[in-house]
Every structure is written in structure tokens, then in C-alpha cells.
């Protein structure tokens, strides 16, 4: 028995129910537009393989109709103890940069477009938002908020305006997902939307939350109640802004390194169900399922995680990124992810026949009502 993992599972809200929650990050973001883009970036000397995002750059892209249809087929095929299908909470961004308008401004002004507009521009995605809406209606795929963009707008625009070569080449390919934390004169990851060096950026980040959450409601027809910040960094000074916009639940790792600016961080400890000063409930993930990463039996590993969660009377909150189910760049990647997901779902119900598949916002409401 892994003593450390068991000890980590003890703090926080308890339940006697066998609750299963699948949280899946990154939906709506462009990441790698196409195989041709990947090859062109490599030919231009952009390093896509030396950081932890290597698998995202190789396999992650906008979800096509084939991707979503395959995912929904798997989710609908396995029912829980309440005769409800498995369900994903896709943690989604609602916008991407409007590259044309930004370039017309000579990189001096930032513009964004709803991700639904981005879908219309990408092959295989033209009708995919119809499936998003179908997923909501069928309670297979119920989005929550991951930010306006999966992009640190201030940091990216500064790099573009300064003529940073890597950033400009990526821009010309509608791409910003390369690692930039160690790039001279950048110092932060473009993907970390709410990280900062200058604390003054928090004012702009608050505006991003306002516009992003309004756009979420306009796109999906309901307010987001859950927020998971891209890549993790988030200032506690933004928590009241989230609450003012209707967010009730906030993802945080058990040990958070809160950015303070100028490279400084503050360590904060979190546990499931904790309520912060702004009244937000903290959601912590305790299970992981990332079959895109080779060399691990992810079904067995996730079942082990679930077993520990249930041993300590915790819900099983499973982190599983979009990249596992995307086939636009490599169809075999999608087939691998979906086959492993099907196996995991079947074995969950075999091991725990009383398991219940719920969404993150449903979990939040259960905690609130306890």
C-alpha cells in the first residue's frame, strides 16, 4: 500500500457514496492546428519536443465531429447504478486569438474570437459545436470554465510586439503552445493564462474573467459555476471576481504555488470542500487518466487511485486532458484513448456496482447540501 498517497487522501469532505467525476481540460483551444503546421514549425527550428507539452504539441488539437462522436459513443455505452451514462465535465476555454486582426494592428492590439468561430475555420470541426450542444442535452458532456483563452495575453502580446522570433513564427502558424518560460525576455509560459511577473497585470486578468464568463453564458446558455485556471497559476486577488461572476467552485491542487509577481510565489494548502475567503468551494483532483502518455497502464493506475479515494470516503475526481481523445493529428491516438476509456468505465462498474457518474457542478452542489 502506498502510504503517502493514502495519507494525502485523508483530509477534506467525506461521503459514503461512490461518486465518479471526469474533469477534462483544454476543450476549445486551438493548440496544434494541423499536421502540416507541426512539420512547418519543426522545419522553422521551433522546439516542440523538449518540454512537458511535447505530447500536447504532437497530438492535441480542436475536437472534430469524429472525435466527439467517438467520445459520446463510449460514454453512452456504460451506465452507472442510477442507469445514467458516464459523463465528462469538459473544462473549456471560450475564445482564441483573432490572428488576422492582431496582425492588422501590427501586434499593438489584442483581439479574440469565440471558439465557435474558430471551429468554423478548421477542417472537420465545422459542425462540431452541434455535438457540444447534443452532449449537453444528453448529459454526456457538460462544459465548465477554463478561462477565456488558454493563453497569457499580456505576455504573448509583449513578445510579439518586441519581435521575438519564436513567438512571431508561432503566430504565423496560429500557434503559441511552445514552452517559453526559459526564453530570454519572456520568462513565463504562454499557456499559463493567469500567471504574471507584474502584479499590475491582475487588473487585466480580472477583465478577462468578466468577458470570458459572459461569453461562456452567451455560448452555452447557462452560467459557469466551476473554474479551473489554465496550467494552474492564479492570484487569490481574483477569487472575489470569480465569485461576483457566479463561480461557486474552484479547482486547486493540494499544494498551490500562488504567483505574487517577479518570480515570487506563496505556498497554499487546499483540500476538497474547503471554502476560501470569497466563499468559493475548492475542488481537488485525486485520480489521473492520461493514456496518451506511454509506458503506464493507465487503466490499472486510475483504478488504484479510485480505490484509495473510496477507501477514505472521497469522491473519485479524475483528471483526463482533451489530448487523450483527439484524432485530428493522429487517428490512432483517439482510438487508443477511447479504447482505454471504455475499459476503465467497464471496470469501474464491475469493481463498484454502486458507483455514480456525476459532473463537477453536481459534486459541488452535493458538498454544499451536506
CA quadruple 170, 176, 179, 184: dihedral, nearest 10: 60
Count other C-beta atoms under 10 Å from residue 312's C-beta. Answer: 15
The structural domain count of the chain equals 1
pTM value is: 0.97
Predicted pLDDT at 327 = 98
Residue 240 has phi, psi (to 5 degrees) of: -65, -35
What's residue 230's pLDDT?
Answer: 97
Q: Give the DSSP H or E segment for 318.
A: strand 316-319
CATH number, domain containing residue 313: 3.20.20.370
Residue 43 CA from chain centroid, whole number = 29
Series of mean pLDDT values for 10-residue runs along the chain (370 residues): 84 96 98 96 90 89 98 98 98 98 98 98 95 98 98 98 96 95 90 96 98 98 98 97 98 96 95 96 98 97 98 98 98 98 98 98 97
Is 342 in contact with 204 (CB distance < 8 Å)? no
Are 65 and 131 in contact, with CB atoms under 8 Å apart? yes
Domain that holds residue 123: 3-369
Q: Return all residues near 177 (Cβ < 8 A) that are at least 6 apart.
A: 31, 32, 53, 56, 57, 60, 170, 190, 191
Residue 23 burial (CB < 10 Å; 0-12/13-18/19+)?
buried
- Report pLDDT for 174: 97
| pLDDT score of 181 | 86
pLDDT at 7: 87
Amino acid at each position: 500500500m502506498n502510504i503517502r498517497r493514502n495519507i494525502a487522501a485523508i483530509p477534506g469532505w467525506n461521503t459514503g457514496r461512490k461518486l465518479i467525476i471526469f474533469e477534462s481540460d483544454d476543450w476549445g483551444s486551438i493548440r496544434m492546428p494541423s499536421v502540416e503546421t507541426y512539420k512547418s514549425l519543426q522545419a522553422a527550428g521551433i522546439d516542440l519536443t523538449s518540454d512537458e507539452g511535447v505530447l500536447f504539441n504532437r497530438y492535441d488539437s480542436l475536437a472534430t465531429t469524429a472525435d466527439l462522436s467517438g467520445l459520446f459513443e463510449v460514454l453512452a455505452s456504460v451506465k452507472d447504478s442510477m442507469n445514467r451514462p458516464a459523463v465528462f465535465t469538459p473544462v473549456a476555454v471560450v475564445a482564441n486569438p483573432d490572428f488576422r486582426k492582431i496582425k492588422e494592428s501590427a501586434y499593438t492590439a489584442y483581439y479574440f474570437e469565440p471558439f465557435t468561430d474558430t471551429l468554423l475555420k478548421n477542417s472537420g470541426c465545422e459542425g462540431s459545436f452541434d455535438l457540444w450542444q447534443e452532449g449537453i442535452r444528453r448529459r454526456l458532456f457538460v462544459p465548465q470554465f477554463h478561462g477565456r483563452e488558454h493563453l497569457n495575453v499580456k505576455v504573448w502580446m509583449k513578445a510579439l510586439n518586441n519581435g521575438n522570433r519564436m513567438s512571431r513564427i508561432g503566430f504565423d502558424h496560429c500557434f503559441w503552445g511552445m514552452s517559453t518560460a526559459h526564453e530570454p525576455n519572456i520568462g513565463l509560459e504562454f499557456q499559463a493564462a493567469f500567471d504574471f511577473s507584474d502584479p499590475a497585470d491582475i487588473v487585466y486578468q480580472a477583465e478577462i474573467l468578466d468577458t470570458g464568463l459572459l461569453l461562456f453564458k452567451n455560448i452555452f446558455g447557462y452560467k459557469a459555476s466551476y473554474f479551473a485556471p489554465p496550467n494552474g497559476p492564479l492570484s487569490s486577488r481574483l477569487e472575489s471576481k470569480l465569485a461576483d461572476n457566479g463561480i461557486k467552485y474552484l479547482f486547486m491542487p493540494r499544494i498551490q504555488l500562488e504567483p505574487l509577481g517577479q518570480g515570487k510565489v506563496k505556498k497554499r494548502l487546499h483540500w476538497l470542500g474547503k471554502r476560501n475567503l470569497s466563499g468559493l468551494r475548492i475542488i481537488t483532483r485525486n485520480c489521473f487518466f492520461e493514456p496518451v502518455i506511454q509506458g503506464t497502464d493507465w487503466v490499472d493506475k486510475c483504478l488504484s487511485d479510485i480505490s484509495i479515494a473510496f477507501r477514505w470516503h472521497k469522491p473519485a475526481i479524475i483528471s483526463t486532458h482533451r489530448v487523450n481523445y483527439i484524432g485530428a493529428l493522429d487517428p490512432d491516438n483517439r482510438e487508443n484513448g477511447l479504447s482505454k476509456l471504455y475499459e476503465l468505465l467497464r471496470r469501474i462498474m464491475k469493481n463498484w456496482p454502486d458507483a455514480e457518474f456525476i459532473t463537477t457542478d453536481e459534486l459541488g452542489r452535493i458538498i454544499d447540501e451536506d
